[in-house]
A and B are shown apart, each in its own frame.
Chain A
C-alpha cells in the first residue's frame, strides 16, 4: 500500500470520482484485513469439515509433543442401498496442547482395501505425524506430515513374493518396528526385522533368523536405545518345568544399519 501513497497528490487534484475511489481504498484494505483476520481466527478453533461426507471419530493419539492427533473415518453419504455409507479413508487433524486446531493433514489417507482398515498413527516429538497403512497385496506405505499438515515424505515397501508383514508397531521413540516372516507358520519361518524412522526410512535391518529345530519364535521388541530383542522358546510347547526362553539382545547398529554385537540370555526351566 505504501507505493500508492506517493500518487495521492495526483489523485487529490483529480476528479471527485477519483477522490471517491481513493476514499474507498482504506475501506477495501480494511475489508481484506478483516477477512484474513477472520480466517486466521477460524484456523485456530474451527475444523473445516466437508459437507458431503459423514465423519466418525475413529481414534485419537497424543503425540510425544503433547499435541493430539485426531483421526476421522470418511464415509460416503448415506443412501437407501447403503444407509451407513462406505468407508473411503481417514482424515487426520492436529490439535495443540491448548485445544486449538493446528492443522489438517493432506492428503487424506485413502482406503485402498475397501475393508475399513484404519491407519497406524504416531505423533512425533518434532510435531510431525507419521502414518502407516497397507494394501491387501501386503505392501506397506508410510507417510509423514509436518506440523502444518503438509505431506513431507512418502515411501512404499513391497509387496514381497517371499515374505509378508507379520507385525507392525510404533516404538516409544516414534520409530516403526516391522517384522517380516517368510511363511504362514512363525516356527517354521525365517524372520527379518526392520526398524524404520518417522519418514519411513530404514534405520536398521536384522536377520534372517530361524527356523530352529524344536524351537518356537515368540517376538521381536525394539528398545528406546535402538537395541533389539528377539525371544525364542524351546521346546515349543510351554511347560514351566522344561521350557527355556532365549533372549537375544542386539546392540549398536552400525552406519549400514546392522547390529554389531549380541548378548544371549537363557531363562528357565523354572
Chain B
C-alpha cells in the first residue's frame, strides 16, 4: 500500500512538472508576426493588377499561411461553374478585317 501511494505521488509530481514546463513553453513562445509561407511560394510573382481588367476571372488561391489547400483545390474543380465571357474576346462571330500593315495595333 505504501509503495502504491509513493508511486501515485511520483506520478502526480511528474504530471505537475510536465504541465509547468509545458506552460512555460507556451508562454515563452514568441507569436509569429506573419503566418509561415510554404517553401516555393513567392506571392510577389502574382500581379493582381492584371485581374482588374478581367471581370469574372479570379487570381490563383495561394497557400499564404501554410494551410492544407487540398480541399480548396479539389472543390475549385468539382464545382460546376457557369460559362462566363472571356474578356476581350468577341461575343459574336467576328467579321474578317484587312490584314494590318505594317504592324498590328496593340489592344
Per-position 1/0 for B38-82, Cβ under 8 A of A? 111100011101110110011111110000111011101110110
Q: Are A142 and B60 in contact (CB under 8 A)?
A: yes
Closest to B60 in A: A155
Closest to B95 in A: A211
Q: Give chain A nearest CB distance to B23 CB in angstroms.
A: 12
A75 on the interface (CB 8 Å rule)?
no
A135 on the interface (CB 8 Å rule)?
yes
For the A-B complex, the count of residue pairs with Cβ-Cβ distances under 8 Å equals 212
CB-contacts of B16-41 with A (<8 A): 17-18, 21, 38-41
Chain B residues whose CB sits within 8 angstroms of the CB of A138 once the complex forms: 83
The DSSP consensus for interface residues of chain B is loop
Closest to A161 in B: B83
A267 on the interface (CB 8 Å rule)?
no
Q: Compute how far the CA of A163 lies from the CA of B60 in the bound complex, rounded to whole angstroms.
A: 21
Q: How many residues of B contact A (CB 8 A)?
A: 61
Chain B residues whose CB sits within 8 angstroms of the CB of A232 once the complex forms: 99
A79 on the interface (CB 8 Å rule)?
no
CB-contacts of A123-144 with B (<8 A): 126-128, 135, 137-139, 141-144
B residues whose Cβ falls under 8 Å from a Cβ of A: 3, 6-7, 10, 13-14, 17-18, 21, 38-41, 45-47, 49-51, 53-54, 57-63, 68-70, 72-74, 76-78, 80-81, 83-86, 88-91, 93-104, 106-107
CB-defined A-B contacts under 8 Å, sample of 12: A4-B14, A18-B7, A127-B39, A128-B40, A146-B38, A150-B39, A154-B61, A199-B45, A201-B46, A205-B88, A211-B97, A264-B102
